[in-house]
Amino acid sequence: MIDIKTHLEEQLRNQVVLPKAELELVVPFLHSFLQPPLESLFYVDSERLQKIDPDQAQPFQERLRTEIDQRVNRHLIELLFFLGNTYELAAPSELGLAQYPKGSEYYAHLIHAHTTLDLSAEKIHQMGLAEVERLETAMRKLRSRLGRSGSKSTFHSMLRINQRFVPRTSQEIGDRLASHLALIEPRIGELFARQPRAPHGIEPLPDGLAGAMTYGYYQGPSRDEPRGVYFYNGSQPKRRSLLWAQSLIYHELIPGHHFQLGLQYENEQAHPLRRYNNTTAFGEGWAEYASELANELGLYQGLDLYGRYLGEMLLSCRLVVDTGIHHFGWSRQQAIDYLREHTMEAEEQIASEVVRYGIDIPGQALAYKIGALKIAELRAKAETELGERFDLRRFHDSLLSIGSLPLPLVAQHVDWFIAQERNRPVAKSRRR
């Protein structure tokens, strides 16, 4: 904690201070560690020391109580006092890297680091605006086809209370995700010639993790768990909409993360750097592209298609809001209002998203949509140049054979794939 305070003081001298919105989260979190010695997270109780000689365990606990009381808690108090006074007085009210010395240059670096492409903030912002406009048009047309002539806000209010999308139990969430998987599993051969050897499954998040995650996470196969598993958040089920569950599970399991990471891990011929590396722009880009493959198969119908559009909309809004905050000087409220206008996310989620873009990991949220758009662009290039020689299954298998690479290297691989396919005898295409 002494090192943390020293580091923060150095940043303060260099005019780099976290915004007040982050302090609102950090200070209560740090304060939770300030406990009496016997209740401290740093204390080791007798149960954990059962296998240790009592003549050693008891003096250890006494020394530990003294350390917590006289050092840990004292330094915590000093750090909290510093954050609540000197630091908070200097903390800006708004977000954005541009307000810091060389902040714009640093944001440009982060764009390249997360997307692996040479794109300007202005270009990404315009890409996001175009995607948002495209999706708003598609959603408006779908509402019309569904016979909903009222306003978008009225329609969204109806969706929030539609009992089809309001789960009553955690198990109901898992069952709905499984039912969507059952739709695509029989047709996966239309898209891929190869599949991971590892099976896949769906499980609820452990109770201890449910409060720290919005949705859940995918865990690849391991020695202890030979399946690739999507752990979903089943806590407070009535507050979790199932509207975008179909798009979510195709992103997380098949043909999304499970196919990409499963085939990558099983490729023993690849260099370890390609087997175990995970480039966000490719990995998350592939998963988002994979969600759209289900649309090509006609699996999204009615309101589930609307849910798919909403999932795309959030990722598209990220391009606008992230660049808006860090390049165009958007306020926190501007970002919140934009997400509120174009998405159906809950207020708590919108606030969390804005902190994520604006403070926690600037630029990272750009990788999802940028990666998906790039993969779709490379596929379109291959289709155009190969014509009747293009085989979608071979394209996907080739793309997933290389591991998680930066997008420029993926583009080079697609060029190689096109050259190889030109020399392959023309075969009857399974699907184009």
In DSSP notation, 118-129 reads: ---HHHHHHHHH
Residue of 382, 197, 432, 180 lying closest to 291 (CA atoms)? 180
Closest by Cα among 341, 152, 332, 184 to 249: 184
What residues contact residue 18 under an 8 Å CB cut-off, 6+ apart? 26, 91, 359
Residue-level pLDDT at 425: 78
Q: Tell me which H or E stretch contains 154.
A: helix 152-161
pLDDT band per the 50, 70, 90 thresholds, residue 431: very low
Confidence of residue 341 (pLDDT cuts 50, 70, 90): very high
Across the range 329-351, mean pLDDT stands at: 92
pLDDT recorded at residue 2: 57
Taking all residues of the chain, what is their mean pLDDT, rounded to a whole number? 91
**Tens of pLDDT, residues 355-376:** 888 888 999 999 999 999 999 9
**Dist. CA 57–CA 34, nearest whole Å:** 24
Q: Model confidence at 22, in pLDDT bands (50, 70, 90)? A: confident
Using the CB atoms, write b or e for 281-308: b if 16+ within 10 Å. Answer: bbbbbbbbbbbbbbeeeebbeebbbbbb
Give pLDDT, residue 391: 96
How is the chain split into domains, by residue range? 2-93, 108-367
Average pLDDT score over residue span 188-214: 86
Dump pLDDT digits (tens) for 139-184: 999 999 998 878 899 999 999 999 899 999 999 999 999 999 999 9
- Joined together, the tokens standing for residue 22 give 């982050």
Question: For the chain, give me the number of helices (H) and strands (E)?
Answer: 20, 3
26 pLDDT above the threshold of 60: yes
Among 12-21, 25-34, 247-256, the range of highest mean pLDDT? 247-256
**Residue of 311, 312, 302, 298 lying closest to 183 (CA atoms):** 298
pLDDT, mean of residues 253-261: 95
Average pLDDT over residues 107-129: 97
| Res. 40: pLDDT tops 80 | yes
- What does the pLDDT average to over 19-42? 90
DSSP state of 211: T
SS3 216: strand
Q: Any residues with CB less than 8 A from the CB of 71 and at least 6 apart, and which? A: none
